[in-house]
Structure 1
């Protein structure tokens, strides 16, 4: 089963102990922590090292940024003339990692050391004063980064910490909230799909009622009223069958919850009728309909393991269209 991948971004030497503890915490939750010191970033020999870090940040599921007193090394595209000072302006690798995650709308959580955060308040009141020596940071670009984070309209939850255990408590609460939000949205999607299904059925009924009314208004001796009514009843029955099939668990499982159109449902019924056994059915579906590779491989695994629950789900689809049940041989 795929695990959420959590990218941890920060300068290394001043925060290495926090990074190590955070990695253990993330792994203990059953997630996958991504830190360059663990060798989890695939570096490409043709690219500068930091480019590979941005690539990993772009594909992560969650991004954690830890801001301490060091701003970090410049990116591979930066050129700094002379020695660095507290007021040298440049883009750091850590900042670029954060910007990459932000641009790709990856859920991001920002942790700032309390000493840095307190000094940030001083910086805000003295931005034009370039004579101040800040004790907690090596470069005021750290404060500019915090400024930019606050300017974003969303995806910028910030927490200032003093002790490491505060980080774990905050992230645990934040991720629990993220999971709760996911469940709510998933429930809303199901409700929306149900509503859309009802609307499609009502559209069929509306068309049928229209045809019935036309028959009553324009009926004459040459009009085969009974045939028209029978055809309309068949349309309604077909529409109800399609909606019922679409709502079966096996259909949602095979197609990852994607909505199939009526033509695809009819293709599924046709495949089911011509298939000789469950294996034949899965192979035919994968050849003619948009089943994902993961759904295909997991279905074959279930069949090889003679998973009765999976076979029962397929048989529910078969009995829905009037076919007999399959058995494992």
Structure 2
């Protein structure tokens, strides 16, 4: 059975005891912990060592970042730290990789570091301050970037290791609960789709039943009534399909028209013999087409992708019209 893979990112020597305990905790939950010191990261000889770490971070299901007092070694892709003080460390690059790939991320910050970060925020321009809990102010800049993320940036400051376990246990329980809720909502949605399909089938059956009754009657207006009701159904279907069709939203400034205009558009679709005829008649309705340089609309359509052509034909079939033969227009 596949296990959730949890990548643990941090500097090593100052946090190795926390990393070891966290790896055991993750494994005890039935997950798979990914820590480079456990030999779980396959290193590729042609790549710098840290690139293999980024590859593993990208493929993880959950990412845990631990921030302590050390910023860490320079990433192989970073500018030289002797010339550029704001270099990227390996730990930061691992975090950036996870963030860019939208991997659920949990950030743990040592309480002393996080407290000193509040001092840094009030003294950003003061370069003479010597901070007691960090070896590089890039740590604070990393925390800045985490705070500036619009989402996927939960932060927990810890003093003792057991606080980490308690917080992660609660967070992952909430993650699992959210998964179950979404799965239940998906089942409800599928059930609703089935109910709608059943209603459509029932409506078709009821329509056929009424048509049979009318045809068997001697009423002189039975054919007119059937045709009139069929036309109303087609018009209603056309209105719904036209207003939500992505391709007509692409061609037009708006697809929201009153019922009179919708009926006029429907009549154009129904009466047009080919694509030139269709767009020529639509232009006569003075619809708000988007600018198409100086091409005719039919030519603009032909120059579009095969997907667009197919979608237009699918739309025409859905309202009971013959599909367009684009070969005749070449």
TM over 0.5: yes
TM-score (norm 1): 0.64
What is the alpha-carbon root mean square deviation over aligned residues?
1.6
Q: CA deviation at 1:211?
A: 2.2
Q: CA deviation at 1:208?
A: 2.1
Q: Deviations over 1:297-324 (max 9, x none)?
A: xxxxxxxxxxxxxxxxxxxxxxxxxxxx
Q: Which residue number in structure 1 is paired with residue 69 of structure 2?
A: 69
Q: Deviations over 1:270-307 (max 9, x none)?
A: xxxxxxxxxxxxxxxxxxxxxxxxxxxxxxxxxxxxxx
Is 1:205–2:202 an aligned residue pair?
yes
Unmatched 5+ stretches in structure 2: 219-330
Separation in structure 2 between the aligned mates of residue 53 and residue 159 of structure 1, nearest angstrom: 24
Separation in structure 2 between the aligned mates of residue 92 and residue 82 of structure 1, nearest angstrom: 13
Is 1:130–2:116 an aligned residue pair?
no
Unmatched 5+ stretches in structure 1: 222-329
Q: CA deviation at 1:212?
A: 2.2
Aligned length: 218
Q: Deviations over 1:73-127 (max 9, x none)?
A: 111112316378xxx2111111111111111111110000011000000011111
TM-score (norm 2): 0.64
Report the 3-state secondary structure (helix = DSSP H, G, I; strand = E; otherwise coil) of the residue aligned with 2:13: coil
Separation in structure 1 between the aligned mates of residue 195 and residue 82 of structure 2, nearest angstrom: 69
1:146 paired residue among 137, 143, 148: 143
Separation in structure 1 between the aligned mates of residue 63 and residue 144 of structure 2, nearest angstrom: 19
Q: Which residue number in structure 1 is paired with residue 214 of structure 2?
A: 217
Q: Trace 1:145-224 onto structure 2 (pairs within 5 A).
A: 145-219=142-216
Separation in structure 2 between the aligned mates of residue 150 and residue 62 of structure 1, nearest angstrom: 19
Q: CA deviation at 1:174?
A: 0.9
Whether the 8 Å contact between 2:81 and 2:87 is mirrored in structure 1 is: no
Q: Which residue number in structure 2 is paired with residue 6 of structure 1?
A: 6
Q: CA deviation at 1:18?
A: 0.5
Separation in structure 1 between the aligned mates of residue 112 and residue 74 of structure 2, nearest angstrom: 23
Q: Deviations over 1:219-242 (max 9, x none)?
A: 479xxxxxxxxxxxxxxxxxxxxx
Separation in structure 1 between the aligned mates of residue 190 and residue 67 of structure 2, nearest angstrom: 43
Separation in structure 1 between the aligned mates of residue 128 and residue 51 of structure 2, nearest angstrom: 35
